[in-house]
Structure 1
């Protein structure tokens, strides 16, 4: 809701992300992250943002409030805390997904190596006078040739990726 409100109010004022960023003394990428929901402004920046967009913080956060609240900063900080918790949860899910992809890649590489070891390049003994066997054998040999050289690099990169996703941030 916050990200949509920032974008809508910025556009209604006829400001580009760059112009708004200059007025708030931040970089354009920061405004872009706010509008895409990748981060949220802190409470002080939220107040400055509301001032630049000629609105109240409550409207930025999606509330329609008739009278001003005395604990405005407290409610803002509580809402920001909820938003930050949601962003942190989304980040954890992303890291778990990436870790699962790396683990699956490692398992796939090991499985293919086991299969290649089991067939022991038996296609090399085929009768290559038959065009179908010649094409299939050439494809299998090309795959094995490239896989055996590139798979160890991909395996090492995946293991490093798994280790990095387990590091504390």
Structure 2
């Protein structure tokens, strides 16, 4: 909600991300991250942001109630906590997805190596006078040649990626 409101209000004021960033003494990438929902401003910055955009924090956070709250900072911090939890869940989902893709890649590499070992380069015994067998055999040999040399590197990189995704943050 914050990201959409921030972008809408900034554009309605005719400000670019760069101009808003200069007013807030931050870099443009920070404004971009806020607008894309990748991070959220802290409570002090949220108040400054609302002041620069001539709006209230409630409007930025998507509330329809325009009445000032008695404990504004507490309400803001609670909302930011909810937003941060949502971002953390989204990031955790991405990490788990990447982890499972890497695990699947490792399994595929192991299965492919097993299949190649079982086949024992059977295509080398084909009659290469037949052009179709010659083409198919060459393709199989090329695949095996490249796979056997690159798959171990991909396997090691995947294992490292899996270990990194299991590290505590």
TM-score bin, normalised by smaller chain: over 0.9
2:17 equivalent to 1:51: no
Partner in structure 2 of residue 146 of structure 1: 146
| Structure 1 moving runs of 4+ over 6 Å | none
Partners in 2 of 1:63 and 1:108 — Cα distance? 49
After the TM superposition, which residues 1-169 of structure 1 pair with which residues of structure 2 at under 5 Å, given as runs?
1-169=1-169
Shift, 1:7, TM fit:
0.3
Partners in 2 of 1:120 and 1:41 — Cα distance? 60
Shift, 1:67, TM fit:
2.1
TM-score (norm 1): 0.98
Partners in 1 of 2:164 and 2:114 — Cα distance? 27
Shift, 1:66, TM fit:
3.5
**How many pairs does the alignment contain?**
169
TM-score (norm 2): 0.98
Partners in 2 of 1:156 and 1:66 — Cα distance? 56
Partners in 2 of 1:28 and 1:66 — Cα distance? 29
Q: Deviations over 1:84-125 (max 9, x none)?
A: 000001111111001101100000000000000000001011
Which structure 2 residue ranges, 5 or more long, are not aligned?
Answer: none
Partners in 2 of 1:65 and 1:106 — Cα distance? 53
Q: Deviations over 1:25-64 (max 9, x none)?
A: 1111100000000111110000000001000000000112
Partners in 2 of 1:22 and 1:128 — Cα distance? 70
What secondary structure is seen at the aligned counterpart in 1 of 2:58?
Answer: helix
Partners in 2 of 1:137 and 1:85 — Cα distance? 55
What secondary structure is seen at the aligned counterpart in 2 of 1:55?
Answer: coil
